Structure 1
Amino acid sequence: MSGPRDVVLGTARPQPSEVVAIADGARVVLAPAALDLLAASRAVVDRAIEAGEPVYGLNRRLGAGRDTAIDPAEFDAFQRRTIRNHRGGVGEPLSRREARAVVAARLVGFTRGGAGVRPELAAAYAAILNADVVPLIPKRGSVGAADLTALAEVAAVVTGDGTVLEAEGGELAAADALAAAGLTPLALAPHEALAALSANAYSVGVGSLAAVEADRLTLAADRAVALSLEAVGSAGPAGNPGAFSELVADARGGEGQQASAAAVRSLLSGSALYAADRVMTVQDPLSFRTASQLHGALQQSVRRLHDELVVELAARSENPVADVASGRLVSGGNFQALPLALDFESLRVALAHVAAASERRSAALSLALAPARADGRTRVPGLVLYAAAADAAELRQLAAPVTLGSTTLSGVEDHASLAPLALQTLQRSLELTREVLAIEALHASDLLHAGGSVPAGHGTGPLAAAVDEVIGSGVPARELVTRAADALFADPR
């Protein structure tokens, strides 16, 4: 029987949230229907072996040697050589959470029925997840034509080779880690080495983690702009909430804009910004006035990424793909991850726009703080604004496309998506945008404090208090920004 933190993998369409749950420690259960499909998929491979039909990676070599036959007596040795040869990743290791996401995404892929692996291999992947045996996976090495180097490290651990990341931060030989967990190394059957590698499980798994972070950022962005409207409104006639009205949002009709504007209105509910006798500017600068349009574009970009991740998780991306219905193994290119890579690229561009507007709002808040700063009544270092400007500049550089950097790796591997690089630059963009929004919140809270005003918004009031508490802690600027980001990104429910 499954437990409350179990993720059951069956034949239903997998969701990114399931990968995230497994990455965060949930146990995995393989449903009987998934095991049946795995067995049927493996039967396709067994029939091809018996028939002696030429199949890439089964009885034919890889890459440029694709038409060179493999003696059946070499099948076992070929599996070992394939994994060993693909362990070419370099650089710092993925975090344990990221590595678990990679294993989870590959296991999900097995259950779709295109890999042709035995149920025993899928069970071995589930076992290392449930025992928290986490492969050490170097960050760099994949070019996005299947995440070969990353997945070779996972297969190496399951077979008793490779290295494991310990919870305390150390490293341990896979054989020792498996023994400590009561697990036995599994020898790969014919075809399973290539099948284990033939997927974009790094881009899909870690991409699912990035998508969750991006979704949280959309809420934080709305919270930051609402707090800024309160702040500039407390200091003068700026802070016109009309731009976020339902009338304006519906006049254009974009779902993302409508959702963002509704979130800002909810945060400002009860605010003095809506007082009938308030004197206010007819319209604010664009960085304030068009925030819901910018944040709406961000929301739509996040939604597209989520939808593409759903496609990838449900896909039979292996080459060759085992097709149960026809009983055939057919070579193809479903590992081409350009649609996913382009969503990573698009999201980086949206983040750069959102951060650029946030930095401009921080500049406006900093200008409004100038008199208080001259009197020594501010608590946030003025030069924190420069950090936001530096972050925004880096974000603009990160928004440049990376997927067009593909190069020829061999005579047949002559194009790649570079999805992993697109993802890694997205992760950096998310980190920087989080920082920029936190700096905006710090300036807004400081301006409210300097003016002696407390925002009346039902959402902005508690948020301002939380950020104000961070400022009052007296920690250095670096820690100040980190803690402000935690307050801004905290679940408000």
Structure 2
Amino acid sequence: MTASAAERVMISSPADLGPDLIAAVAGGTVRAGLAPGLLAALAENRAAVLAALDGDQPVYGVNTGMGALAGVRLDAGAQTRHQNTLMAGRSVGSAPWLSRARARALLAVRLRDLLHPAAGASPELCSNVAALLDADVIPAIPARGSGAAGEIIPLAHAGAALIGIGQVLDEAGRAADAGPALETAGLRPYSFGAKEGVAFLEGVPGLTGLAVLSARAARTLIDQVTAVVAAEHVVARASRDPWHPAFAAADPELRSVLDTLRGPGGPAVPGALQAPVSFRVSAPALAVALRAAGELEAAIGRALDGVTDSPAFLEGRFVGSAGFAGTDLVAAAGTLTAALVHLAELGVARLHRLLDADVTGLTRQLSDTPGVHAGMVAVHKRAAGVAHRLRRFAGAALIGPVETSAGQEDVQSFGFEAAECLDEVISGLRDVLACEILALHQASLLGASAAAPAAGITGLTGDAGLAEFAGVAGLAGLAGRLPASTRDRPFGRDLDVIIQILETG
């Protein structure tokens, strides 16, 4: 289900709140409401949950403690307070906070999870979460330090804001008391009913929501890298032999990349029998990244459709689960992270080749006056430094369990850490790509051929320049934004312009 900007969408079933709508809600361009029929179904399911709780059977986190204290039974008074108390004692995080868009993505996925019958949530709880999003009252949710089996710490912060004892983000992104913010928005603090606090703390809505945003950003970035690779082949006079369609016979992602790289144009005249390896292997690396993005999207779909509550209300009884672990998403995010790091490394290598006069036939270091002006050599050094930094984020977040909760939680999937690594690498690859685009611009001004129909290239700065990548999101906006000069200048300012255009897509 998709919605246009400023449209109010009524959700009739949990499936309506899919990745597209989650991204739109995160961006604040869509407001989501709950249809009357869905609210009625929630009320009916909630009645069944309350009936199942009416007895002396122990139910984890409802009439017992949690973690290593699950053997402690709660009396009636403690049970009444327990669901709210769960939020207070677990709100141990602090800045840096998730951005507003990322926190909204978490809330959107949390709403999707609570709509599932297994959560046993009331229509009132779901309506209150939707109201937070609608009023743009966004909890201050810590971006780091979630060393639990699941996302208990960040979700406790979201729940504490909902009940009025936590914090929300002000317009400057700083944490402020939730109570006054709720009152200003015309909202009343919510009080969690039986089992609702436990349901709010379970699952991986944070990692799921962050993955939705990152998968979309990665798709855009991979398309942009593909366009840049095509342009670099022109400047480097690289052979198009590695783009032969036969090489993709058993690989649909590679076939898609090669079709894009070849485009409608004829073959370029190579400057050497064999191009540098970084050019020859770029297409397979792009295919790997595309496949990894698809795997993350598939894992997102499984997370949205799966049962993440524990205990889950299934077939009239409460069943413990492992849906809070997020193992599938963490593994998929790590695979995409590694693939994007590799693209950054290849970008640095291709950029270095563009500084070689023997490869391009242009001046050394793409300097208009070698020895007087440095050209692109320091731009390449920046790219190398960024790529080196990205390597530290390629470590698998699944590795490295630490015992907590007196041994009750002896393994963590570290989902927020996996999301942070992916986000850092997306930003870093964008930085490296900006360095490559600036070098292409410099090369075109120094006389590289602009006759590149295969890359869909026209002009970056009027009649001169090589990089308005027609039809590629986020690159057409470069036209006229960079100086038509090859002389040394503070190139970092140019890179900032390119990065902003790449990021906004």
Q: TM-score, normalised by structure 2?
A: 0.88
**SS in structure 2 of the partner of residue 91 of structure 1:** coil
Aligned to 1:422: 418
Q: How does 1:375-386 map to 2 (within 5 A)?
A: 375=369, 381-386=376-381
Aligned to 1:36: 40
Residues 362 and 443 in structure 1, CA contact (< 8 A), matched pair in contact too: yes
**Which deviates more, 452-461 or 82-91?**
452-461
Structure-2 change in CA distance of 1:137 and 1:489 (3 Å): closer
Q: How does 1:262-341 map to 2 (within 5 A)?
A: 262-266=259-263, 269-270=264-265, 274=267, 278=269, 280-323=271-314, 326-341=315-330
- State how far apart, in whole Å, the 2-side matches of 1:279 and 1:165 are: 55
Aligned to 1:235: none
User: Are positions 1:258 and 2:232 aligned together?
Assistant: no
Residues 143 and 418 in structure 1, CA contact (< 8 A), matched pair in contact too: yes
- Picking from 12, 15, 19, the partner of 1:16 is 19
- Picking from 443, 448, 451, the partner of 2:444 is 448
Residues 135 and 164 in structure 1, CA contact (< 8 A), matched pair in contact too: yes
Q: Indicate the RMSD between aligned Cα atoms, in angstroms.
A: 2.3
- Picking from 336, 357, 361, the partner of 2:346 is 357
1:91 Cα offset (Å): 3.0
1:436 Cα offset (Å): 1.0
Residues 45 and 117 in structure 2, CA contact (< 8 A), matched pair in contact too: yes
1:486 Cα offset (Å): 4.0
User: Are positions 1:156 and 2:160 aligned together?
Assistant: yes
1:415 Cα offset (Å): 0.9
**SS in structure 2 of the partner of residue 29 of structure 1:** strand
Residues 226 and 460 in structure 1, CA contact (< 8 A), matched pair in contact too: no
Structure-2 change in CA distance of 1:488 and 1:172 (3 Å): closer
Bigger relative contact order, structure 1 or 2, given CA contacts below 8 A and separation 6+?
1
- State how far apart, in whole Å, the 1-side matches of 2:97 and 2:334 are: 23
User: Are positions 1:205 and 2:209 aligned together?
Assistant: yes
Structure-2 change in CA distance of 1:79 and 1:144 (3 Å): closer
Aligned to 2:391: 396
1:254 Cα offset (Å): 0.9
- State how far apart, in whole Å, the 2-side matches of 1:419 and 1:70 are: 31
Aligned to 2:483: 472
Letter in 2 for 1:354: L
Q: Number of paired residues?
A: 475
1:294 Cα offset (Å): 0.5
**SS in structure 2 of the partner of residue 164 of structure 1:** strand
User: Are positions 1:224 and 2:207 aligned together?
Assistant: no
1:329 Cα offset (Å): 1.2
- Picking from 370, 373, 379, the partner of 2:367 is 373
Structure-2 change in CA distance of 1:244 and 1:43 (3 Å): same
Structure-2 change in CA distance of 1:430 and 1:37 (3 Å): same
Residues 199 and 317 in structure 1, CA contact (< 8 A), matched pair in contact too: yes
Q: TM-score, normalised by structure 1?
A: 0.90
- State how far apart, in whole Å, the 2-side matches of 1:373 and 1:468 are: 22
- State how far apart, in whole Å, the 2-side matches of 1:148 and 1:488 are: 34
1:224 Cα offset (Å): 1.1
Structure-2 change in CA distance of 1:488 and 1:170 (3 Å): closer
Q: How does 1:178-193 map to 2 (within 5 A)?
A: 178-193=182-197
- State how far apart, in whole Å, the 1-side matches of 2:11 and 2:150 are: 22
Structure-2 change in CA distance of 1:189 and 1:364 (3 Å): same
- State how far apart, in whole Å, the 1-side matches of 2:355 and 2:261 are: 22
Residues 249 and 258 in structure 1, CA contact (< 8 A), matched pair in contact too: yes
Write the deviation string for residues 272-304 of structure 1: whole angstroms up to 9, x where unpaired. Answer: x626xx464333122111211100000000000
Residues 401 and 413 in structure 2, CA contact (< 8 A), matched pair in contact too: yes
Unaligned runs of 5+ in 1: 233-237
Residues 95 and 142 in structure 2, CA contact (< 8 A), matched pair in contact too: yes
- State how far apart, in whole Å, the 1-side matches of 2:430 and 2:387 are: 11
1:403 Cα offset (Å): 1.7
1:437 Cα offset (Å): 1.4
1:490 Cα offset (Å): 6.4
- Picking from 56, 60, 83, the partner of 2:60 is 56
Structure-2 change in CA distance of 1:37 and 1:380 (3 Å): farther
1:16 Cα offset (Å): 1.8
